[in-house]
Chain A
Amino acid sequence: MTTLAPPAPVADPQVAPAPRRVRRRPAAGSLGLVAAGTVVGVVLLAALVPDLLAPQDPLEISLSESFAPPSAEHLFGTDQSGRDVFSRVIHGARQSLVIGLGATAIGLLGALVLGLLGGLGGRIADGVVTRVIEVLYAFPGILLALILIAVYGNSALTQMVAVGIATMPGYARMVRGQLLVVRGSAYVEAARALGHPPLRILVRTILPNAFRPLTVLVTLGIGQAIVWAAALGFLGMGVQPPTAEWGAMLNAGRNYIQQAWWMDFFPGITIVLFTLSLTVLGRHLQRATDAGARR
């Protein structure tokens, strides 16, 4: 379904693509892959050593230069206090990544507890877990996160935890489903027939096989978590100014959309490119593991 890689081989010869096209496709795919890898690499570099890339201090105020449009000196323009938006985007990478990764970790942890209970805990536990997931699903999108922020107040930590909990039901459903599939598979039955103890089967056979497909989905999920965190930041919930963080920068730029579009445009497109690249990489991983599983 992506352009960036060859489609699965088609069984029906009448509709199967001509061989020439099949050979040409991986080229386009690897091009997209290189681009995606570059973007992710640059963002990681910015998160680890921002001073290497940022030309200026992200917090340095220079009121005479406020609202300067993008130029050679200020690539992404300046904000209302004359701070360099480009430097702020670079320095914002670390905090935004920490929030995205932290939220994903929290979501996964909760999902593992729920999923393991449901997938391995027997019929009653599974019934309860299914209901819990269903109820959590009734709060669409960032709504669950908004409730948690309303209850626990507005801070970077709440933002991370709230996004993590909002992503939890999706992961929990997948963990549970995956465990149920693996548990019923022939190789688990074989391990049982060989007389392996249940704990060994769980740790050595069931868990690795159930979690392998999840690693791919986590790649996709990190992008989602970053977008949700940025959306909360855009609404003014989370990291507070003047800290350089993508969501907080979006929130600051919101008030000046008509006079200084660059304040929102550049942090926003950074998020778009980064999450898009994560999606491309995740899809590639997905196809690679799918192909591996078929062999």
Chain B
Amino acid sequence: MTATTSDTEPVGGPRPPGTSADGTPADPDSSADGGPAADALDPRRGRLLARRVLTTLGSSALLLWAVATIVFFLQHLVPGDPAQTILGGASANPPEETLQAVREQYGFDQPVLVQYGHFLAGLVVLDLGESYTMKQSVVSIVAEQIAPTLQLTAAALMVAWAIAIALTLATAGRPGRLGRIGSALEVVFAALPHFWLGVVLLVVFAVVLQWLPVVDDGPAGLVLPALTLGIPLGGFLAQVTRDEFDVALRQPFVLSALSRGARPGDVRWRQVLRHAALPGIALSGWGLGSLISGAVVVEVIFSRQGIGQVLVAAVTAQDLPLVIGVTFVVAAVYVVANILSDLASVLVDPRLRHAIGRAS
């Protein structure tokens, strides 16, 4: 596989067997031997599946604990006095008694390990502490702001897949100029940074042409942010999908389908694409993570509500509980997204269902 940059590999969990880019895929359409219905009825396979789900959940919980520990101890490396930040930052000049009172209120005067214990205990009951600057619980801020961000990232993921599938079907494996134009587009799309693409789309479609609103909380306001966020990921997914598409086109099952009289377009759409989408689906968990990270920039460009804006404000004000709370929630969403993309791989690729039965 030719990954574009250093961080293009999926995270977490073992890579599902059979999705390795250099592995020789078999025909996923050969569901004659068993098929999904038969899998679900086999009790032994059901137990194995349950065990696998439990292991995944357990290792995800451990991962989140490690994440929480890292962010907690990072917080304690801060050079300044947190009580000072709470009372208005470096410029404020509160009396010593007030500082002392705040230290007691937030527990800064206790040993670090005791604070760590409180922090973990809080996590278990979904208490992420209180924001220094907004004087509100971090959980309530995140709960208020996460919906628009998830909406944006979900829309962007759909845009990305639409681009990847359209480009692949239209241009992959085609002779001559068409294929080259397709892959050039992918490289360019994948190289567009959000901060530039967003500004260009905003200026062209909202300021000059005035087709779409500059700022709007309704569906029309979602179009440009979702395009900004989705186009670069779409280019990346298309690169991966095209590679796999080219490999799958050379498989014997394509020849056999064509010789049975299937129309070439049908074969591309129904059989080859199914193979080709697998690595992209496995990468979608990683993709969602990169979308959330990109949402920070996109929300700022389009003045959209969301945890990205909250995070930028919190980082600028060094409001650490809020920064840590938001990043922890994002990490949790990211871990869940990776589990979901593994599941989606299993749904699309029947071979993986059989692999669960054979392995362990």
Contacts and interface: CB of A to CB of B under 8 A. Distances in A.
Contact of B71 (A3, A147, A234, A261): A147
A1 B290 CA distance: 22
B325 to A, nearest CB: 11
Interface string A230-249: 11001111000000000000
B300 interface: yes
Interface in A204-240: 217, 220-221, 223-224, 227, 230-231, 234-237
B20 to A, nearest CB: 13
7 contacts: A137-B12, A140-B292, A143-B327, A146-B327, A151-B320, A221-B6, A265-B203
Interface stretch (A43-51, A56-64, A167-175, A195-203): A167-175
Interface string A114-148: 00000000000000000100110111111100111
A280 B67 CA distance: 36
B63 A138 contact: yes
A280 B188 CA distance: 10
Contacts of A146: 296, 311-312, 315, 323, 327
Given A3-B183, A146-B311, A221 B297 contact: no
Contacts of A265: 196, 199-200, 203
A227 B193 contact: yes
Nearest to A227: B193
B150 interface: no
A-B interface, 10 closest residue pairs, ranked by CB to CB distance from nearest: A141-B293, A140-B289, A268-B196, A170-B6, A3-B180, A170-B7, A137-B11, A150-B323, A150-B315, A234-B195
B66 A131 contact: yes
B202 interface: yes
B87 interface: no
Contacts of B301: 254, 257
A290 to B, nearest CB: 9
Given A137-B11, A140-B290, A10 B193 contact: no
Contacts of A152: 78-79
Give the dominant DSSP class at B's interface: helix
Contacts, number: 191
Contacts of A105: none
A138 B11 contact: yes
Given A3-B187, A224-B6, A231-B194, 12 more contacts: A1-B239, A138-B66, A140-B289, A142-B296, A143-B331, A148-B74, A151-B75, A221-B6, A264-B199, A272-B196, A276-B191, A279-B4
B214 interface: yes
Contacts of A254: 199, 300-301
Interface in B63-111: 63-64, 66-67, 70-71, 74-75, 77-79
A89 interface: no
A224 B229 CA distance: 16
Interface stretch (B39-47, B158-166, B242-250, B339-347): B242-250
B294 interface: yes
B296 to A, nearest CB: 7
Contact of A135 (B67, B181, B296, B316): B67
Interface of B: 2, 4-9, 11-12, 63-64, 66-67, 70-71, 74-75, 77-79, 175-176, 179-181, 183-184, 186-188, 191-196, 199-200, 202-203, 207, 214, 239, 242-243, 246, 249-250, 286, 289-290, 292-294, 296-297, 300-301, 311-312, 314-316, 318-320, 323-324, 327, 330-331, 334-335
Contacts of A151: 74-75, 77-78, 318, 320
A279 B193 CA distance: 14
A239 to B, nearest CB: 15
Interface size of A as a range: 35 or more
A2 interface: yes
Which of B7, B64, B249, B331 has the most CB atoms of chain A within a 10 A radius of its CB?
Answer: B7
Contacts of B249: 15
B184 A276 contact: no
B334 to A, nearest CB: 5
Contacts of B186: 1
A145 B222 CA distance: 27
Contacts of A253: 199
Contacts of B300: 234-235, 254
B203 A135 contact: no
